Amino acid sequence: MKQTVCLLICVLFSNLLIAQPEKVENEFKESFSSKPKFEFKFDSRFSFLRNTEVKTTGIKIGLSFKRKFNVGLGINQLLIHSESEIIEQNDTIPVNLNYGYFSPYFEYVYFSSKKWEFNLSTQIGIGEASFEYTNAEGKKSKTDKTTLISYEPAMLIDYKIIKWVGIGTGVGYRLILFKNGGIKENFSSPVYVIKLKVYLGAIVRSITGKEIPAE
C-alpha cells in the first residue's frame, strides 16, 4: 500500500511535466522573470510510526512566481511525541521520539482559478531525530541522535475562503533517503496534509491601503 501511494504520486507528477514539456518550460521562464510575491503558510502532516498516527507541524515561508511556481523553506517538528522504550544499564526507560527538520520545497501549480489551486509539491527534509527522557538527576537527556534526509512528493489542493485566508489538503509520501544513527524506527510513510494559508498582501492592503508583493 505504501509503495503504491508513493508510485502513484511520482507517476502523476512526472506525467504532468512530461505530457506538456514545452508548456511547462515556457511557464517556468515567464514566471521566474516576473517579480515574486511572499507566501506564508502553516501545515500539519499526518503520518504513521509503528502503525500509530503522528503529527508533524510546519511553518513555510517562500516566494510565489505568478501563482505557477512556489519555492521556499519550511521548519517542521513532530508535535505529538511518539512513546517508546530503550534499555540502559539493564533498565527499561520510557522515552519520547523527537524529530525536527528543515525542508526546502518546490511547487508547480498546474491549475488555478479565483478560489482554487491544484499543485504538485516536493520537499527535501534535512534534520535530526532522537530519544528524549528524564535521567536519574531529573534532567532532560537525549540519546541515539540520528541524521535523516527525506524526500516528500505530494499532490495538494488550496481553496481561498476569503481574501485573507485559505485552506488546503493533500496526500503524499515521506521516503527516507538517508539515515545515520541509532534509531531503528521506519520513518517512511504515507502522509496526508492539512494546511492554513495566509495572504499577507491582502491583509496589508485591507489595513493600510498599500500594495506590497506579499501574496
Residue 184 phi, psi dihedral angles, 5° rounding: -100, 0
Whole-angstrom distance between the N-terminal and C-terminal Cα of the chain?
Answer: 37
Tens of pLDDT, residues 20-42: 666 666 776 777 777 888 888 88
Residue 165's CATH number: 2.40.160.20
Tens of pLDDT, residues 46-84: 998 877 888 899 999 988 888 888 999 999 998 766 666
**Identity of residue 158:** D
Q: How many domains does the chain have?
A: 1
Choice between 200 and 211, residue whose per-residue pLDDT is larger: 200
Element (H, E) at 204: helix 200-208
Residue 112 resides in a domain: yes
Average pLDDT for the chain? 80
Give the residue-averaged pLDDT of 87-96. Answer: 68
Q: What residue numbers bound the domain in which 84 lies?
A: 2-208
CB-CB contact of 47 with 58 (8 Å): no
Residue 100 resides in a domain: yes
